Structure 1
Amino acid sequence: MTLLNPTLRQPERDDFVPALSATQPDNQLNLSDFSDFFQASQAISHQQKNSVYRLRHKVYCEELNFEPPRPSGLEQDEFDRRALHCSLADASSGEVAGTVRLIHCEQEPGPLPIEQYFAGRFTAPNLMPACFPRQQVCEISRLAVAAKFRRRIKDAAAKDLPALSSSSRPFNRYIAIGLYLMATAMCLEKGYYHGFVTIEPSLARILQRIGINFNQIGEAIDFNGKRAPYYLDARQVVTNLQPEYRELMQRLSSQLLTEPQEVASSRQLLSNTDLKWAIA
């Protein structure tokens, strides 16, 4: 399987991660139903990865101007080749609603982005990436949510905006949280127990309220707004999560770790081919 990766840059706008203001799911909203409206999956094939890169380009290059536009319409960097990518897609249309990545050091023990941006700025020397086995560290980044799914409910009636399903709309607020839960699930699955991320301190506090306990390991710097480095022990998340979010994480994890049909078919084809050669 293959999956995610990181980015330090997240917008100042409060509509980029609209889900994260809620410490509890809305009244009469069963958060476990989220996985009925949004499908979690890994971006493994070339086509799947391009869908992720295309969404990142729309968000980071066209909307937020954090990165220069690319002629290809695909936002990529040097860390993507050693990253796991995943996405959340609208279950009814298949449209990618959000994505996130995990940069790891399993095959290539090079530095993480956080080590480059915060070199000499870490204030918790016992929680730096260099303190842990290299194959167990990763960085979560490049979280992006499509504008269609970020916009506020009050804007949904605007004539120049595409309509959203009224049944799935309440869950749009939880897409960003879902992506962080997916990233954590992949950390556990792959054994990347020591996760790092660069986000706004206010966002870290909101995530801590639901049980994703980031530890700040350096001072905030001015990087598309104030951003600080954080450490996360993925093994502690399941225990600390509020029950509603723990169940959601389990559902999303089961979707992520289910082998896509096309991959399973290809594997079976290869197996049959090997068998024919063995018989011959």
Structure 2
Amino acid sequence: MSYFTFRKLTPEDSLFPELFKLRYRVYIEEWKFEKPEDHPGGIERNIYDDHAVHLAAILNKEPSVIGTSRLVLDSPHGFPIEENMEITADTSNIPRNKICEISRLCVRGDYSRRRDDKALNGDDSTGSAKEDPKLVNQRREENDIVTGIFKCIAKESRIHGITHWYVGMARGLNVLLKRRGINFEEAGPEIDYHGLRRPYFGPIEKILAKSKLFLDIYTGKTDFPYDENSL
């Protein structure tokens, strides 16, 4: 049995509004990164969302969105990382339409009690979280949410002709991605932005060079069909 489906969501999809409700739940209610009054209606959304590819981890039994990320594409608004962080890496020789920013990567709190998923929100602890024993067997069978979302990221980047990734992330997430063979290069200093975050930038094939799994999806050697429920 597979617990999750991973795929792109578009405004025509009935689950599309759940992306922004999940982001509100994680960023405002669970992690209190922003003020509720700045996000009326219980959604977290901004000007970059109309210029982004939205990805989701969907819990099959409900169904509902329990994880998400977006690929912010080039637009007149630029990239949020360039507005909120100091970029010291030289990106001037890369066409803007070949760059995207990976952002808003988050997992619903009741599905992010494992150390790997907590790292998404800046938890750098090395201890394991205590879980309800009733969930242990389910955890063993669950697909890795972060891995599934990153497969979508690799696939959509290929589809859109993207060659370089931006991402701003906490140390914990950087460690988590390195364990999967995803190696970003630092692109600026660490700052306090929703917790300590650092910007990263680089060519996708170099970032994924140590991960055959993701590199093969990005280069098209293998597919990640969205109509399948398993990793």
Give TM-score, length-normalised by structure 2: 0.78
Asked if residue 42 in structure 1 is aligned to residue 8 in structure 2, the reply is yes
Deviations 1:99-134 (A, max 9, x none): 1001001xx34310111122xx33322xx3x43111
Distance in 2 between residues matched to 1:122 and 1:247, nearest whole Å? 29
Asked if residue 150 in structure 1 is aligned to residue 119 in structure 2, the reply is no
Distance in 2 between residues matched to 1:87 and 1:177, nearest whole Å? 12
Tell me which amino acid in the other structure corresponds to 1:234. I
Number of the residue aligned with 1:87: 56
The answer to whether the 8 A contact 1:149-1:172 is kept is no
Partner of residue 57 from structure 1, selected from 16, 21, 24? 24
Number of the residue aligned with 1:9: none
Deviations 1:65-119 (A, max 9, x none): 11222331111111111111010112333222201001001xx34310111122x
Asked if residue 174 in structure 1 is aligned to residue 144 in structure 2, the reply is yes
Larger relative contact order (Cα-Cα within 8 Å, sequence gap ≥ 6): 1
Q: Secondary structure at the match of 1:181?
A: helix
Q: Secondary structure at the match of 1:232?
A: strand
Partner of residue 207 from structure 1, selected from 164, 177, 190? 177
- Superposed, 1:81-230 pairs within 5 Å as 81-105=50-74, 108-118=75-85, 121-125=86-90, 128=91, 130-152=92-114, 154-157=130-133, 168-170=138-140, 172=142, 174-230=144-200
Asked if residue 234 in structure 1 is aligned to residue 204 in structure 2, the reply is yes
Tell me which amino acid in the other structure corresponds to 2:87. F
Q: Which moved more, 1:58-67 or 1:234-243?
A: 234-243
Asked if residue 253 in structure 1 is aligned to residue 220 in structure 2, the reply is no
For structure 1, list consecutive stretches of 5 or more residues without a partner in the other structure. 1-32, 158-162, 260-280
Structure 1 residues 232 and 93, CA gap change in structure 2 (3 angstroms) = farther
Distance in 2 between residues matched to 1:91 and 1:247, nearest whole Å? 26
The answer to whether the 8 A contact 2:57-2:149 is kept is yes
The answer to whether the 8 A contact 1:109-1:135 is kept is no
Distance in 1 between residues matched to 2:162 and 2:216, nearest whole Å? 21
Give TM-score, length-normalised by structure 1: 0.65
Distance in 2 between residues matched to 1:225 and 1:97, nearest whole Å? 22
The answer to whether the 8 A contact 1:53-1:75 is kept is yes
Number of the residue aligned with 1:67: 34
Identity %: 29
Structure 1 or 2, whichever has the larger Rg, is: 1
Name the structure where helix makes up a greater proportion of residues: 1
Distance in 2 between residues matched to 1:205 and 1:85, nearest whole Å? 24
Flag as ranges the 4+ runs of structure 1 deviating above 6 A. 245-252
Structure 1 residues 65 and 145, CA gap change in structure 2 (3 angstroms) = same
Distance in 2 between residues matched to 1:183 and 1:144, nearest whole Å? 14
Return the offset for 1:191: 0.9
The answer to whether the 8 A contact 2:49-2:72 is kept is yes
For structure 2, list consecutive stretches of 5 or more residues without a partner in the other structure. 115-128
The answer to whether the 8 A contact 1:139-1:195 is kept is yes
The answer to whether the 8 A contact 2:205-2:215 is kept is no
Distance in 2 between residues matched to 1:99 and 1:116, nearest whole Å? 22
